[in-house]
Chain A
Amino acid sequence: MDKLAKQLREDADQIACNISPELDERIRASLHGITPKPVDKPGPASRPAAFWWASSLTGVAAAVAIIAVVNLQAPEPGPEAANSGAVPLILPTIKWNTETAVLTSPLEQEIEDLQSDLKKAEEAVRQDIDRLF
Chain B
Amino acid sequence: MSNEAALIEAAKKGSATAFANLVHGYREGLLRFLVTRSSSYADAEDALQDTLINAYRYLHSYDSRWRFSTWLYRIAINNAARLRSADTVELGDLRDDESDPLAYCIAASDRENLWQCARRQLSDEVYTAMWLRYVEDMSVNDISAVLERSASWTKVNLMRGRKTLDAELNKDATDDKSKAYG
B107–A14 touching, CB < 8 Å:
yes
Contact between A12 and B135, CB atoms less than 8 A apart: yes
How many interface residues does chain A have, given as a range? 20 to 34
Q: Which of A75-121 contact B (CB under 8 A)?
A: none
Q: In the complex, are the beta carbons of A23 and B11 less than 8 A apart?
A: no
Q: In the complex, what residues of B have CB within 8 A of residue A14's CB?
A: 106-107, 109, 113
> Beta-carbon contacts of A115-133 to B below 8 Å, as 1s and 0s?
0000000000100110011
Given the interface contacts A12-B115, A14-B113, A32-B16, does A5 sit within 8 Å of B105 by beta carbon?
A: no
CB-CB nearest in chain B for A22: B45
Q: Is B158 a contact partner of A133 (Cβ separation < 8 A)?
A: yes
The yes or no answer to B6 lying at the interface (CB within 8 A) is no
Interface size on B, as a range, is 35 or more
Given known contacts A5-B134, A9-B134, A17-B28, A31 and B53 CB-to-CB distance under 8 angstroms: yes
- What chain A residues lie within 8 Å of B106 (beta carbons)? 14-16
Find chain A residues with CB under 8 A from B156 CB: 129
What are 28 A-to-B residue pairs whose CB atoms are below 8 Å?
A4-B162, A7-B114, A8-B130, A9-B134, A9-B135, A11-B115, A12-B115, A12-B131, A12-B135, A14-B106, A14-B109, A15-B32, A15-B35, A15-B105, A15-B113, A17-B28, A34-B57, A36-B11, A36-B12, A36-B14, A36-B56, A36-B57, A37-B57, A39-B12, A125-B159, A129-B155, A132-B158, A133-B140
